[in-house]
Structure 1
Amino acid sequence: MHDAAFAADPHQVYDRVRAHGPAGPVELAPGVDATLVVGYETALRVLQNTTLFARDARRWKALNEGHVGLDHPVLPMMAYRPNCLFTDGAVHLRLRKAVTDSLARLNMTRIRRDVEPIADYLIDRFSERGRADLLNDYAKLLPLLLFNQLFGCPADIGDTLTSAMSAIFDGRDALRANEELTACLMELIALKRRRAGDDVTSWLIQHPAGLTDEELKDQLVMLMGAGVEPERNLIGNALLLLLAPGAGGDGSGMLIEEAIDHVLWNQTPIANYATHYPVQDVDLGGVVAEANTPVVISFAAANSDPALADARRTHSKGAHLAWGAGPHACPAKDPAQVIAVTAIEKILNALPDLTLAVHEKDLQWRPGPFHRALVALPVAFSPTPATRTASALRSRTAPAAAEQPVPTTAPATVRPEPAKKKGFWSSFLDTFRV
């Protein structure tokens, strides 16, 4: 599940597994074996049975025995962290409540308000060129910058957060990127403990669950990991459908919300994940998943299960598994959809003659076992002046940067650093600083 053939056509792998039953053996990455669940009912069975199927990756037998190296590139996505994804029972309930209560304070009006200036800023960076890569110039950066906003990041921390998360998702020097990510988040937590803001980081700190710094750091990593990569792919795959209907269905005349729902069914942004570790050997429809070995849910294959033919025809919103199911189901599906709708509305309204710059058959999908992600989405359009950011700035009574706390670290003159190119978050804050 890690080569170019899988990226180009993952359903040929799902179909081969399905021919043997609702689950079967796969290789997620070189040297990393797992059982992939492709049947809808079996997926629900695993997702909902927390007694038999644990999420704690410290059970992973091959990792514990040294068969999977500690520097393996899948570890940032699979190794244990003390967060909602990798915990069970009372620990999971405690962490999950802190996360869901904090997310509940983000109303949809605020989400749209925060997305719109970021979208304007990014569009202005390429609108005068008449061409762009909507994945890497827009869909990838927008959620990264949005999480900087939601977390209340000052400029330097936000730049590191953006670059480190990008490197982890792209598989570039994952160990170094993970170290940088950890360091910048711990700095952010220390800052927010001294000076709270109106942001998710501060709300998590203030929650009655009393999270430790380590727990706080890992909830923030989980929120970004569960939000940035899926959001990028949701926006990118929906734009592809709207710009090239043959890429996934008849997108002509589709509403944005309809295109998003089509993607959740057919180009599931996180296609395979939710790794479980059976506490004992388990028969999954004829295939035995051994105790403490990875059992991965294929949301994409479950959505294409022939047993769901009727639901697929009507695109029943309650049936697909793109948001997961059970106690670990995504707690932020409503904000995620608002972010995607707003981002797509902004780009289509700003560049109304947007067209795909290559034939859809020439587009490439990024290799990897977990996601359904384009490598790039090149488009062409009539060049337009870069004036949207200025308009957004004039229309905001309280610019985004004004809400950002000022770091209480020593001034630059005390701790001089070599001049370096500003990151996206620094540039965004500079644009909206008054």
Structure 2
Amino acid sequence: MGCPAHHTTQAARMPLYGEEFAADPGAVYDRLRAYGPAAPVELAPGVEATLVTEHESALRVLQSPALFARDSRRWKALAEGRVALDSPVLPMMVYRPNCLFTDGTEHLRLRKAVTDSLGRLNVNRLGRDVERIADYLLDQFSERGMADLLNDYAKLLPLLLFNQLFGCPAGIGDRLTANMAAIFDGQDVMRANEELTACLMELVALKRRQPGNDITSWLVEHPSGLNDEELKDQLVMLMGAGVEPERNLIGNALLLLLSADSSTGRSGMRVEDAIDQVLWNNPPIANYATHFPVQDVELGGVPLPADTPVVISFAGANTDPALTEAHQVLSKGAHLAWGAGPHACPAKDPAQLIALTAIERLLNALPDLTLAVPQGSLRWRPGPFHRALVALPVRFSPTPGLRTAAARPVTASQPATVPPARTQTASSSGGTAPAKQKGWWSSFLDVFRL
């Protein structure tokens, strides 16, 4: 019969975009391992790729930039018109002039601008920013006694935080939040992407005129001399790499912590341990880091044609049976949730701090938090790249929404009051919020007078 890895017809390709994969990706990875260290998959209808599920082979790809390039302009099927231009995976795979899709000296130049700018973040200030945003969001639902922690908290917190980190004024920040949310939710993606590009170009122009103490200004000022297009695409990369993974890390860790095994309805696990378990077992970005072999090559006996997408399964590699001992002790140095090699995540420490602070702030504010539905009824959002809950409904004892009021300085003309809880999220169409309903970022700025 021969090795199944050599049977790469369309019928043999495992789809990674349906409900079956979303419900139980572990079972899919187990089936794919029958092909060897890598297997034929379909990321979306008509989008073929090879998925690497073996830890050792994943490291070989990640750490061999001379053989496996990140520049998706090499993608033969796309260049030949065999991939639909409206495919839902294209926004995550097509080339942009940022450090995610570049190689060699160009990658080093762009990555240095990003890492140097991230290196200027003050850890204490970052923690305070997360606490302030967490308190603001908690005040929007704490009086209700119920919430969807995915859409009311984990999704919004990193969006608002990036507005803070980028130094966004109210109008630009509202558009940035609404359109980034629309892109992640797959709602009118083409129009939302155009509006996102426009508002980021406005932000770049503003920071060239009026630099501040923020990541956008630091990128503008960096000696690498980024042009406006490059600046915009580094910001897109930072948001894309920070918002979706962060919300899934927070959401998946909260689910683990709320998985009842005692009369209290809590797992009793430390937050740090829950985050580490998620990075091992349910990494927020499960499959990504698309590479393109620069020549025909074999990976553990599996042929990889030149200029075809090779996707790393961080989740599959983390559960590789060869890693049994490392997995049992959850060695932080072994899992691949942060990637490896020259494109490894440059913001690992800030990302973990954000998740830890957001989760602890929530649990301290709502100590009797429990799942509102049986754990088995929770649904996972379909898609080849992420491991993301659709919703995380919880209940708790209602508490007054006074946290942000307590954080504000009180003056005779400005009493410490909390704005009415919002009744809708950012517009799914991606446009600016109606006049009678401010956007999330401008409402937050109203509270804190930033």
- TM-score, length of structure 1 as denominator length: 0.93
The one-letter amino acid paired with 1:155 is: A
Query: Does the aligned pair in 1 maintain the 2:154–2:251 contact within 8 Å?
Result: yes
2:76 to 61, 78, 82: 61
**How far apart are 1:245 and its partner, in Å?**
4.9
Q: Secondary structure at the match of 1:34?
A: strand
Instruction: Please give the root-mean-square deviation of Cα atoms over the aligned residues, in Å.
Output: 1.4
Q: Secondary structure at the match of 2:100?
A: helix
Which residue of 2 is the match for residue 425 of structure 1?
441
Q: Which runs of 5+ in 1 are unaligned?
A: 396-416
2:387 to 353, 356, 372: 372
1:343 maps onto 2:350 in alignment: no
Which residues of 2 match residues 149-164 of structure 1 at below 5 A? 149-164=164-179
Q: Distance in 2 between matches of 1:98 and 1:418?
A: 37
1:173 maps onto 2:188 in alignment: yes
1:253 maps onto 2:268 in alignment: yes
* CA gap 1:15/1:253 in 2 versus in 1, 3 angstroms: same
1:319 maps onto 2:334 in alignment: yes
Q: Distance in 2 between matches of 1:87 and 1:53?
A: 12
**How far apart are 1:251 and its partner, in Å?**
7.3
Once the two structures are superposed, what CA deviation does each residue of 1:54-79 show, in whole Å capped at 9, x if it has no partner? Answer: 00011111111111122221111111
Which residue of 1 is the match for residue 139 of structure 2?
124
Which residues of 2 match residues 162-311 of structure 1 at below 5 A? 162-245=177-260, 252-311=267-326
Query: Does the aligned pair in 2 maintain the 1:251–1:259 contact within 8 Å?
Result: no
Q: Secondary structure at the match of 1:67?
A: coil
* CA gap 1:418/1:138 in 2 versus in 1, 3 angstroms: closer
Q: Secondary structure at the match of 1:220?
A: helix
Following TM superposition, the consecutive aligned residue runs of length 4 or more in structure 1 with deviations greater than 6 angstroms are: none
**How far apart are 1:418 and its partner, in Å?**
7.4
1:334 to 343, 349, 352: 349
2:112 to 97, 101, 110: 97
The one-letter amino acid paired with 1:315 is: L
**How far apart are 1:167 and its partner, in Å?**
1.2
The one-letter amino acid paired with 1:421 is: Q
- TM-score, length of structure 2 as denominator length: 0.89
Aligned residues: 410
Which residue of 2 is the match for residue 7 of structure 1?
22
Q: Distance in 2 between matches of 1:339 and 1:347?
A: 12
Provide the identity percentage.
76
Once the two structures are superposed, what CA deviation does each residue of 1:128-182 show, in whole Å capped at 9, x if it has no partner? Answer: 0000000000000000000000000001111111111111111112111110110
Query: Does the aligned pair in 1 maintain the 2:290–2:312 contact within 8 Å?
Result: yes
**How far apart are 1:375 and its partner, in Å?**
0.2
Q: Which runs of 5+ in 2 are unaligned?
A: 1-15, 411-432
**How far apart are 1:267 and its partner, in Å?**
0.5
The one-letter amino acid paired with 1:171 is: G
Which residue of 2 is the match for residue 52 of structure 1?
67
Q: Distance in 1 between matches of 2:171 and 2:98?
A: 25
The one-letter amino acid paired with 1:274 is: A
Q: Distance in 1 between matches of 2:181 and 2:84?
A: 22
